A = this chain, B = another copy of it.
Amino acid sequence: MSKEARYDQTFLAGNSKATLLVRNIGQLCTLDTGESMGPRRKEEMTQLGIFTEAAMVVSGDEIAATGPESELMARLFPDGLPEDLPVVDAAGRSVIPGFVDPHTHTVFGKTRQDEYERRIKGETYLEIAAAGGGIHSSVRDLRGRSEEELVELATVRLREMLAQGTTTVEIKSGYGLTLADELKMLRAARTAAESVGVRSVRTCLAAHEIPHEYKDKRRDYVNLVTDEILVQVKAEGLAQRCDVFCEPTVFDLEETLIILTRARDLGLSLTVHADELASFGGAMLAARLGANSADHLIKIDEQGRQALAASNTVAVMLPGTVFSLGLKNYAPGRGMIDQGCALALASDFNPGSCPINSMPLVMAIACTQMRLLPSESLVASTLNAAWALGLNDEVGSLATGKKADFLILDGDDYRLIPYRAGHNPVESVFLGGCKVC
C-alpha cells in the first residue's frame, strides 16, 4: 500500500488525528520526489515535488499529507474540517522544508573579527597564528570558559539560525582538544540545541588540530583521541559522528584512517574535512570508508570526484568560508553535480574562517559563485544535507511520515531565497508541527 493510501485510510477510519492544516500555500516544495536509494544527484537535484494552490496536513509531529488543496480537502475531509483543527493560512506564500545545516562549529567563545581585519590587511595565516590567532586562539579561549557560558553563547546563535530557517544543525567539538573540554563542548551543544528546540547532530572533532602541548608527540594525541576521547564521547552518547581535519598540515591520511576506523568500530558515523587546502586524498578515503560526507573539497582532484560520484558519500560544500576568507576559488560544485556527485551545502559557521550562519546567504553564494541553480541549492540545503547527516528518513523533505519541520517564506517563489541575498526570507518556522518563530 502506498504511503498516501495508508494515510488516507488511517484518516478516513478516524484512527489518526490531523493536528494542523496549512492551507492556501502558493507554492509547496515538498522535495518528495519518490523513493530513492541515496541522496539526490544530477537532474534529481532540480526536482522539488512542487504543488501550487496546495495544502499540508500534520499529524502529531509528522507530515501526514501534502497536495493540491482542493484534492486534499476532498480526500481527507469529505465532511468538512474538524472544528478543533488548527489552521494556518499561508496567504499564497511558499512552504519549504526547514534547512539542514550539516557542518557547523556553533559552540565557541569569542568572535575573531580582529583576524578578519588582519586578513584584509594582507597578513597570512601563519602571521595571524604567530600573533596568537587561528584555531588555537579559540582553543585557549574555550578551555577557559564554563559549560554554562558556552551554552548561553550557543543558544543565542542557534536562535538566530532558527530564525533564518535552520531546523536541524550539526555541531562539532574541536576547540577543546582535551578529554574534559571536548566533552564540555559536546554537552554544551546538546543543552543549547535542546533549549532552542532545534534538532541537532553532534560530531566529535577532537582531531581538529594537534594541541600545542602535543606538538612534539603527535602520535600520543592520536592515541588520546582514539583511546579516551572517542570512547568516552560514545559512552556518554554525546556525539553521533566523528570528523577528522585531514590536511597535509593537520592530520595525515594514516592518522585520519586510524581515528576514523576506531570511530566506526565504536559505532559512530563518519565525516572528513577533506581536500580543502590541498588535494590530499581525503575525499577518496571518505568514500572508501563509507563516510556520510566529505566536506570542503575546494582542491578535490578528479580521482576524488569520481570516488564521491560512485559512492553515497555526500560532497558537503562550504562556500561561505571561501567568501568570508576573500578567496577566489570555490569548490567545483557545478562540475561535481554534472558528474553525478550528491551535493549538500553547509554554513561551516565558526569564529575564524566563516562567521556566516545563514543558510539563505550560503545558498546565494552557491548560486552566484558556484553556479548552482536555485533548485539545486535548495535540495543541497535540505534533503541532501539530511543524507549527509544520516537523517534522511526523518527530515530534509516534506514526505509523508517525516518530521513536520517546515518554513513559510515571505515570498511566493523559492528562487527568491538566493535571489534576495542578505534578506531573511523566512516568515515563520515550524518544528515538529509547532510554530517556534
Contacts and interface: CB of A to CB of B under 8 A. Distances in A.
Nearest to A164: B422
Interface string A65-85: 000000000000000000000
A11 to B, nearest CB: 36
Contacts of A325: 368
Given A113-B415, A416-B113, A421 B373 contact: no
Contact of A356 (B120, B356, B369, B421): B421
Interface string A413-428: 1011011111110000
A413 B113 contact: yes
A386 interface: no
A204 interface: no
A195 interface: no
Contacts of A114: 415
Interface string A282-325: 00000000000000000000000000000000000000100111
A117 B413 contact: no
Most B Cβ at <10 Å: residue of A160, A360, A422: A422
A357 interface: yes
Contacts of A422: 164, 320, 356-358, 360-362, 422
B111 A416 contact: yes
A371 interface: yes
B111 A368 contact: no
Interface in A403-437: 413, 415-416, 418-424
A26 interface: no
Contacts of A357: 422-423
A114 B374 CA distance: 10
A361 B362 CA distance: 13
Interface string A324-362: 111010000000000000000000000000011110111
A356 B367 CA distance: 14
Contact of A326 (B121, B324, B326, B368): B368
A424 to B, nearest CB: 7
A245 interface: no
Q: Oligomeric state, in number of copies?
A: 2
B360 A419 contact: no
A116 interface: yes
A372 interface: yes
A229 B9 CA distance: 67
Contact of A369 (B326, B355, B420, B424): B326
Contacts of A121: 373
A113 B373 CA distance: 11
Contacts of A420: 111, 355-356
Contacts of A413: 111, 113
Most B Cβ at <10 Å: residue of A324, A362, A374: A324
Contacts of A423: 160, 356-358
A111 B356 CA distance: 26
Nearest to A371: B120
A367 B368 CA distance: 18
Contacts of A360: 422
A424 B419 CA distance: 17
23 contacts: A111-B416, A111-B419, A113-B415, A114-B415, A116-B419, A117-B373, A117-B415, A120-B368, A120-B372, A122-B371, A323-B368, A324-B368, A324-B421, A326-B371, A355-B419, A355-B421, A356-B422, A356-B423, A357-B423, A358-B422, A358-B423, A361-B361, A362-B422
Complex A-B, nearest 6 residue pairs according to Cβ-Cβ distance, in ascending order:
A358-B422, A361-B422, A113-B415, A326-B368, A113-B419, A116-B419
